Amino acid sequence: MADWQKITGGITAPRGYQAAGITAGLKPSGLPDLALIYSDVEAIAAGVFTTSQVKAACVEYCRQRLQAKHSARAILCNAGQANAATGNEGWIDALESGMTIAQALNIPSESVLLASTGVIGQRIKMDALRSGIPKLVAALSETGSDAAAGAIITTDLVTKSIALETTIGDRPVRIGGIAKGSGMIHPNMATMLAFVTCDAAVSPGLWQQMLARAADRSFNSITVDGDTSTNDSLIALANGQSRTPAITEVGAESERLEAMLTAVCQHLAKAIARDGEGATCLIEVEVTGAHDELSARQIAKTIAGSSLVKSAIFGRDPNWGRIAAAAGRAGVPFEQENLQIKLGNFLMLENGQPLPFDRAAASTYLKRAAKGAYLQEDTVLISVSVGNGHGVGKAWGCDLSYDYVRINAEYTT
């Protein structure tokens, strides 16, 4: 049993946070497109961002802010325009966005972090953003998580949200999160945006380390299409409003908090992978027997990201040879005579030797997953063992359907 329980409230479940999401006119669709997350007090801030050499203005803005100051009070996110590859003008727009929301909240601009999502090469519609800021601030609410979650999505079919609660020092501590992402998902860090709030008090360095490790075990372990975004951002705030003693060093309390943080991130990451453009099921790959966790995750992510594996899953074809081939090209040494592959409960390869299995029943397993309940019974499990090492790693992806091509072929038209 986990040391926490799921609660309602999403990003505003932790104490001392408000959120809002409105329609400002940034999206041509007229759907909600501007979100705000706000802490009542200055919060310790940490971030993990895309490693792409082509970075959105918001990414550079956040990097600079967090290098200069390890705290923040507000996260402003616009949807509709990525403000990536927009040059100096896009940078000026980012600076103005931060200053405008800071003035409306009566906080220093240094306490604002930014995120953007949408079409690369398009600047933010600043007239719409300026006009929307007063309405956005007025909409702030302790129950505004759902509105914020709805305002950050683009091609997503569903919003993504979670909140968990544990006990530290005899007091409840909560972590909440929202995320967006459906296509261009292959995080190095992940296209995705994710925002996490926590009401514990944590030292800046420790909070950043926790977040980086949680990202590796969640957002950096998902893939939809092998494409890393210009805007990937994971931002986490910890404001101390639970009134628990500050966590400043590694120990039982920090480990419990990090485990819950990782659980929040993994839930959001799996929700993103399941919502992959055109996807019909979630794929979970677990690799055991590797030399270390990093090696196991590398093999798992290679399998989850294989277009051939993903296509076979969509076709309900239990073609384990594609799984073996993907494992072999992951760049992790192992002896193929130690390779074992399972699809669900069907053992297909052991000690590097193919085994007879009920192909029709395995295909039915894949068909049932495609009809299963969302994030419950809609998961295809692939288990791979590569040896006797202690390394265990997981990765998540989705199948590759005809609709993925249609959605992305028509993305800007």
Amino acid at 140: L
Look up tokens 């200053």; give the residue: 99
Amino acid at 352: G
DSSP single-letter state for residue 121: T
Catalytic residue among 50, 100, 117, 191: 191
DSSP 197-235: EE-S-B-HHHHHHHHHHHHHTTGGGB-SSS---S--EEE
Q: What's the rounded Cα separation, in Å, for the pair 333 and 346?
A: 25
Residues near 25 by beta carbon (within 8 Å), at least 6 away in sequence: 33, 125, 128, 131, 132
Cα torsion at 310, 312, 314, 315 (round to 10°)? 170
Residue 242 · residue 15 · CB < 8 Å: yes
259 closest CA partner among 213, 292, 293: 213
**Which backbone phi and psi does 244 adopt, to 5 degrees?**
-90, 160
**Residue 198: strand pairing partners:** 175, 238
Q: What's the rounded Cα separation, in Å, for the pair 160 and 146?
A: 9
Question: Distance of CA 73 to CAs 225, 257, 343, Å?
Answer: 34, 21, 46
Amino acid at 219: F
Residue 166 appears among annotated catalytic residues: no
H or E element, residue 286: strand 282-289
Q: What's the rounded Cα separation, in Å, for the pair 332 and 206?
A: 30
DSSP single-letter state for residue 122: -
Q: What's the rounded Cα separation, in Å, for the pair 233 and 237?
A: 13
Give catalytic residue positions.
191
